[in-house]
Amino acid sequence: MIICLSSLKGGSGKTTLAVHLAHAISLSKKKVILIDADPQGSSQGWAASREDKPPFPVIGMARNTLHRDLPELLENYDHCVIDTPPRVSALARTAILAADLVLIPVQPSSYDIWAASETVKLIEEAQGFKPEIIAAFVINRKITNTAISREVSEALSDYEFPLLKTTIGQRVIFSESSAGYSVMELAPGKVASTEIKQLSQEVIKMMG
């Protein structure tokens, strides 16, 4: 299964969730590869920051033919996660076209809600070529008991795509994870780690 993290909004959590989904899947004894399709190379930077070998391969592939090239490359893997750039571009399109599931991270902010419609448009265009692509929103950086956190769920219900049950909270440990280690490594058993495991379970279940 190929899961693509996609959002035209920079800073929404594509890289953070890509790295963590890949790690959570690898912890469930599945072979997973992370494809960094963002020319900025943040996922690659994450892997390179580590002292040790990353727990799954991270490959930079910012090329416009991903949807054609990936199937052959993925023969030896159970799952693939793709991190993407935050711009309407051939790269954003090829990554969506390559995917079985597109996850759209949305922060509880009006800016993110407005930007969601552009991302949805891009995915719907791709579904014109490949109708079997599934897409879903996931709330990232949720702050409990705020009005905007409730409003974001409501605003997203206007779209055809479902909102995942799992939400990822605003947690300092996620910022710390950008130095090359996942929250499962930095704080095993803590809430952040549980949320990520739940996310990966929900995603895998969705794909049957």
Q: Kindly report the number of other CB atoms within 10 A of residue 197's CB atom.
A: 18
- DSSP lists the bridge partners of residue 36 as 60, 83
Per-residue x/- mask for ligand ADP, residues 83 to 102, rule CB under 6 A?
---x----------------
Distance CA 137, CA 104 (A): 5
Q: Mark the segment that binds ligand ADP (CB under 6 A) among 14-22, 88-96, 111-119, 196-204.
A: 14-22
Min dist CB 18 to ligand ADP, Å, is 8
In 10-57, DSSP assigns E strands to 32-36
If one asks whether residue 46 binds ligand ADP (CB under 6 A), the answer comes out as: no
Measured in degrees and rounded to the nearest 5, phi and psi for residue 184 equal -70, -30
Among 2, 4, 8, 16, binds ligand ADP (CB under 6 A): 16
Min dist CB 207 to ligand ADP, Å, is 22
Among 1, 3, 4, 13, binds ligand ADP (CB under 6 A): 13
For 141-180, letters b (16+ CB in 10 Å) and e give: bbeeeeeebeebeebbeebebebbebbbbebebbeebeeb
162 binds, among ligand ADP, Mg ion, none (CB under 5 to 8 A by kind): none
For 46-81, letters b (16+ CB in 10 Å) and e give: bbeeeeeebbbebebbbeeebbeebeeebeebebbb
Contact present, 20 and 45 (Cβ < 8 Å): no
In the region spanning residues 101 to 130, those forming contacts with ligand ADP, defined by CB under 6 A, are: none
Q: Which residue's CB is nearer to Mg ion, number 14 or number 171? A: 14
If one asks whether residue 14 binds ligand ADP (CB under 6 A), the answer comes out as: yes
Which residues of this protein are in contact with Mg ion, per CB under 5 A?
A: 14-15, 42
If one asks whether residue 12 binds ligand ADP (CB under 6 A), the answer comes out as: yes
Min dist CB 43 to ligand ADP, Å, is 8
CA distances from 192 to 14, 63, 110, 132 (A): 16, 32, 24, 31
Q: Which residue's CB is nearer to ligand ADP, number 10 or number 39? A: 10
Selection from 6, 1, 39 nearest residue 137 by Cα: 6
174 binds, among Mg ion, ligand ADP, none (CB under 5 to 8 A by kind): ligand ADP
Chain positions contacting ligand ADP, by CB under 6 A: 7, 10-16, 42, 86, 140-141, 168, 170-171, 174-175, 178
